[in-house]
Amino acid sequence: MLTHAQVWSAIDRLALRAGLSASGLARRAGLDPTTFNKSKRITAAGRARWPSTESISKALAATGTSVEAFVGLIQGAGAPARGVPLLGFAEAGAGGYFDDGGFPAGAGWDEIAFPALDDTHAYALEVSGQSMEPAYRDGDVILLSPAAPIRRGDRVVVKTRDGEVMAKELKRSTAKAIELKSLNAQHPDRTIATEDVLWIARILWASQ
C-alpha cells in the first residue's frame, strides 16, 4: 500500500539527489516555492495533503528522473535519511531562530532530508541572492554544524550581535577578533571583534 509518508519522503530524496531543498526543487520545476514544503503536507484541519501528479511530473522532468527511479525512491532505495532543520539564509538574521549557542530554536524552520548524517546538531540554510557567488549560488543548500571544531581555511557562517549573517572563509582567529575572507571578490574581507560575534558555525557540505 502506498502511503502519504512514502510519497513525501520520495520527494525529499529526489530533492536531495539534485542537491536542492524541497522549495528549491519546486522552483526548478516551475512551481510555487512552497509546493513541497513540510507545512503544505498536512491541512489546517489535520488531514493529509498529497502532492499532485502534475507537480510530481514537473519535478521529475526538472531533475531528469524517470518514473521507475521515483518508484525506487518511494520504496526507500538508497541511504537512510533523517530530517535536518532548514531555514532561508535571509531569515537567519532575524531573532527567534537560534539560541545563544547558535543552535536551531523556535518555530519557523522547515526540514530537508539528509542521508547518513551523524551530527545531531547540524542544520541547513538555503542561499538566496548572488552575494556568495561563485562559491554558493541562489537556491544552494549549505549544511552547518555549530558544534564542529573550526580551523583556519574552513568555510563558516557567522552571525554578529547586530543580526548580520555572512558566509566567509576563516583566515585567522584570536582572543580579540576573527578575520574572514570573502567568498565573493566583489565583497571585502572582514575583521570582527570577538565580542561582536554572536555565533559561528562550520559549513560541512553544500549542494553544488
DSSP string, 136-199: S-TT-EEEEESSS---TT-EEEEEETTS-EEEEEEEEE-SSEEEEEESSTTS--EEEEGGGEEE
Q: Which domain holds residue 199?
A: 82-206
What CATH number has the domain bearing residue 69? 1.10.260
At residue 76, the pLDDT reads: 66
**Residues whose CB falls within 8 Å of the CB of residue 131, separated by 6 or more in sequence, listed in order:** 184, 187
Q: What is the pLDDT of residues 164-207, one digit of tens each?
A: 999 999 999 999 999 999 998 889 999 999 999 999 999 988 87
Give CA–CA dist 115/94, Å, rounded.
29
The predicted pLDDT at position 130 comes to 85
**Number of structural domains found in the chain:** 2
Please check whether residues 125 and 52 belong to one and the same domain.
no
Residues 119 and 63 in one domain: no
- pLDDT digit string, tens, across residues 90-135: 888 887 888 888 888 877 888 877 765 667 888 999 888 888 888 8
The label of the residue with cell 512552497 reads 34
Residue range 18-40: average pLDDT?
Answer: 87
Provide the pLDDT confidence category of residue 68 given band limits of 50, 70 and 90.
Answer: confident
Q: Is the pLDDT of residue 51 over 90?
A: yes
| Average pLDDT value for residue range 50-65 | 92
Of 31, 55, 78, the last residue of a domain is 78
pLDDT of res. 177: 96
**Are residues 134 and 200 both part of a single domain?**
yes
Provide the mean pLDDT of the chain. 86
pLDDT of residue 118: 66
Task: Please indicate, yes or no, whether residues 94 and 175 belong to a single structural domain of this protein.
Answer: yes
Examine the domain organization and report whether 165 and 190 are in the same domain. Answer: yes
pLDDT at residue 31 in the model: 94
Domain endpoint, select from 23, 53, 78: 78
